[in-house]
């Protein structure tokens, strides 16, 4: 079982739609959580950190459920420019910190 798992998609949604991605992690020692965005043939860039209390940045909302060991990303009012791959990232402290990337979820937003 992978340490961080994501639905690879692709998710095909029309402009204006709301779309949600989930990510599960296997190690309860995980301590910090992030969503990165990666455009086609580009480098990953931090989209947002994920906090236990949940956090929002404009149209994007991230949630963390430690009991069930999953994190989510909600995108409201999708734009064409949201088309990208979204990477779930977990930092674990297993004696030393380790960063684990999910394989990513592809999103296509259509006009």
Q: Name the minimum Å distance from CB 69 to other proteins.
A: 17
Nearest to other proteins of 19, 87 (CB atom): 87
Q: Name the minimum Å distance from CB 76 to other proteins.
A: 24
Nearest to 87 by CA among 47, 55, 58: 47
Contact 39, 46 (CB under 8 A): no
Q: Name the minimum Å distance from CB 80 to other proteins.
A: 23
Nearest to other proteins of 4, 78 (CB atom): 4
Neighbours of 53 (CB within 10 A): 7
What single string gives the DSSP state of each residue in 1-32? --SEEE----EEEETT--EEEEEEE--TTEEE
Chain residues in the site for other proteins (CB under 8 A): 4, 8, 31-32, 34, 36, 41-46, 49, 87, 89, 91, 93, 96-99, 101-104
């Amino acid at each position: 079982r992978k340490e961080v798992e994501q639905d690879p998609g692709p998710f095909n949604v029309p402009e204006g739609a709301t779309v949600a991605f989930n990510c599960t992690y296997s190690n309860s020692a995980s301590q910090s959580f992030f969503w990165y965005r990666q455009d086609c043939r580009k480098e990953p860039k931090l989209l947002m950190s994920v906090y236990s209390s949940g956090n929002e940045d404009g149209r994007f909302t991230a949630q963390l459920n430690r009991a069930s060991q999953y994190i989510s990303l909600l995108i409201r009012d999708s734009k064409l420019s949201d088309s990208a791959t979204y990477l779930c990232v977990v930092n674990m402290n297993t004696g030393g910190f380790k960063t684990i990337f999910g394989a990513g979820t592809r999103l296509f937003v259509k006009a």
